[in-house]
Chain A
Amino acid sequence: MKKRILVVDDEEKFVDYLFKRLINRGYDVVISLNGEDAIEKVKSYNFDVVVLDVLMPGIDGIDTLREIKKIKPLTEVIMLTGHASVESGIEGMKLGAYDYLMKPCETEELVSKINKACEKKAEQEAKRRDSLVSDALSSPRSVLK
């Protein structure tokens, strides 16, 4: 199954090229140019990883991250900080982002982080499934809940 990625950045060209390169690497990629649109898309699809720019007009990256974590807590988020400062990245980590990268970044690095994030998500989902299964085994009634 293809991994589903959402790329969010207000620089259209950047998003375009990243989209093409990730497609070439066999990901299922959706793009979004601002926070509001990204939140809508997260609501309607199940993404494995969201690549999110911190500095955007409208709802900024941090707020978008907060919303995404509210809607889909298991979806992993990788922050892109345009700033030389790492503060916004660290803030993102505190809010539950998987990792952050500074722009411009090596695509290979990004890809490896995406893959690790996907693994982490898969693990989390497996854990959750296991716990559901064990719950169901220990008390079959709980399935009905």
Chain B
Amino acid sequence: MTNTKEKEKSKFDYYRRLKWNIVAFTLIVVCIPLPFVAGTIYKYYWTYVHSSVVNNLKSIAKNRDEAIQVFLTERLSYLKTLSQLMSPENVGDQRTLEHLFSIVKKEAPSFVDMGIINDGGAQIAYIGPYDLLGKNYRDAVWFKEVSEKGVYISDVFLGFRNVPHLALAVKGNNTDSVWFLRATIDTDTFRRLLRSGHMGLERDAYIINRKRELQIHTGNSERLDPSAVRFPAKGEILVNKSIGMNGYKTWSAATWLNNNRWLLIVEEDPESELISLSKTTRLALSLLVTALVVIGLLSYYAAHWIVKKIQKADHEKELLNEQLMQTSKLASLGRMAAGVAHEINNPLAIISESAGYAQELMEGLGSETRDLTAEKRQEIYTALKDIRAETFRGKDVTQRLLGFARKMESKLEDVDINNLLAEVLKFYHRSAKVKNVNILEQFDKNVGRIRTDPSQIQQVVFNLIDNALYFLSHDKTGGEIVVRTERRDRNILIIVGDNGPGMKPEVKEKIFDPFFTTKPVGQGTGLGLAICYGIIKKLGGEINVDTKEGKGTTFMIQLPITKPEGGDER
């Protein structure tokens, strides 16, 4: 009972393992390409989003750069125009300056004040909210530069008024005297200019000079560290991705303006732009996980279904096999019965004849007298003795038949293989003689007993010897069958060999296939060797064939030695 339970359990394990193997296989097949595809798509999308953010930043930087450039050029040209409008007589005249300033202020409100400085650096006329008349700029940097170059745009500075501002100056265009027109612009206007356009709240713009001093800043946040800014080459927009002052991620585009003296930096926190990317990533990841879960569930159910089908098919196959075995058992029983009938008939014929003879002697048939002479007595005695001997011969046969019938039941027993084979061979003693076949026994005494199913071993050997006899009787020159046993390591070998016609290689390949037969129609089912194969496999052994056309055929059965156990045997 424990045996069948264990078998059930190992079968159950087998099907469970099969199911999980199918699931694992499906998942592997699906999971390798899925993340790959997802990863590729993500990478392209990431690149696309990043480059669009960078391009946006660059275009804003370019746009602002141009706007500031235009603004500064415009302011300078206002000053140039004004300086040309002033005749040598009214240079330094306060009222003319006031008049001109009021006109300019209408068009360009960003001008804060305006003044005229003579070649000595003294402010000789001034209009504006500060009291700067008479101040001397002789030692100021801008004064020296504008004297040399004719045009000057200052950095942002505090100056005398102590308010950050930007100064523009042009050289007066008179032939006889040198003077300068100077105007300042408040940084608010500048800041507004920076902020306008596509800036938005999340972006910031800065202008720094070559000494990395902050000039103007739109002032939304304090993310950029001017000292960390890298300078781009002339006429280039440099994009920099780094971590800013407060630990924020910051991306910036930098470009030169104002004759490469100022660096315009448009900076932003990319998170706001990249938020769509991370949203998409999360969505894609959750889709991926959902897909995997769904695939996992589906493959589990598919595997479950497939394994169930396989289990059912296996079960049906087992039932069929059992039926087949039963049929073949009956067939071998039929063959046995025919053989036994023949063997019993022979002694019966002798008994009948000798009894008849004795009777006739007593009746006096064939002689003149009915007296029982000593000679007649002797004859009758011999006849009776022969009858007894033949009776025992008959009993021998019936005994053997009983033994065979008992072994028809399939169960595991401790079997002496040599004995079993010897019993089987007894059945063939006469039919082999009739067919002129010599059966040789070569039994190895070391084979001993193994635990196996005697009825099935018996059936296999019957089949093999039947086949050998069948093919040997086709050519009638001294056939020989050798039945040999041998112990080899942990196995015992049963070898059935004949010197019959052998097989062609293409026949040899197919002999264990069901329904394959070389016998004429009606004489072979093609199941004998298929059943042998099934039986030996079931008993945990191997069956092989070695054959050569014209030389003979040898079947070798290998059975594992399992320790005989006496426990549950009756």
- Which A residues contact B (CB, under 8 angstroms)? 11, 13-14, 17-18, 20-21, 23-26, 55-58, 60, 82-85, 102-105, 107
Contacts and interface: CB of A to CB of B under 8 A. Distances in A.
A99 B350 CA distance: 21
B294 interface: no
Contact of B338 (A25, A60, A85, A103): A85
Given A21-B356, A103-B346, A58 B436 contact: yes
Interface in B358-395: 360, 365-367, 383, 386, 390
Interface string B321-361: 00000000000000000100110011011111110110010
B570 interface: no
B342 A82 contact: yes
Contacts of B349: 11, 14, 82, 103-105
Closest 3 CB pairs of A and B: A24-B366, A17-B353, A104-B349
Given A14-B346, A14-B350, A83-B341, A57 B434 contact: yes
B433 interface: yes
Contacts of B357: 17, 20-21
Given A17-B356, A24-B366, A60-B434, A11 B350 contact: yes
Given A13-B386, A57-B434, A57-B436, A21 B345 contact: no
A56 B430 CA distance: 9
A5 to B, nearest CB: 15
A25 B346 CA distance: 23
B354 to A, nearest CB: 5
A107 to B, nearest CB: 5
Nearest to B348: A104
Contacts of A60: 434
Contact of A107 (B342, B345, B353): B353
Given A11-B346, A13-B350, A84-B342, 12 more contacts: A11-B350, A17-B383, A20-B357, A21-B357, A24-B360, A26-B366, A57-B433, A58-B436, A82-B342, A83-B345, A105-B352, A107-B356
B342 to A, nearest CB: 5
A130 B353 CA distance: 40
A107 B357 CA distance: 10
Contact of A13 (B342, B348, B360, B390): B390
Given A56-B434, A58-B436, A21 B352 contact: no
Contact of A17 (B338, B342, B350, B365): B350
A104 B352 contact: yes
A13 B345 contact: no
B341 A84 contact: yes
Given A13-B386, A23-B366, A85-B338, A104 B434 contact: no
A13 B386 CA distance: 8
B342 A21 contact: no
A85 B338 CA distance: 8
Contacts of B367: 24
Nearest to B341: A84
A17 B346 contact: no
A14 B353 contact: yes
A18 B360 CA distance: 12
A106 to B, nearest CB: 8
A111 to B, nearest CB: 11
B352 A55 contact: no
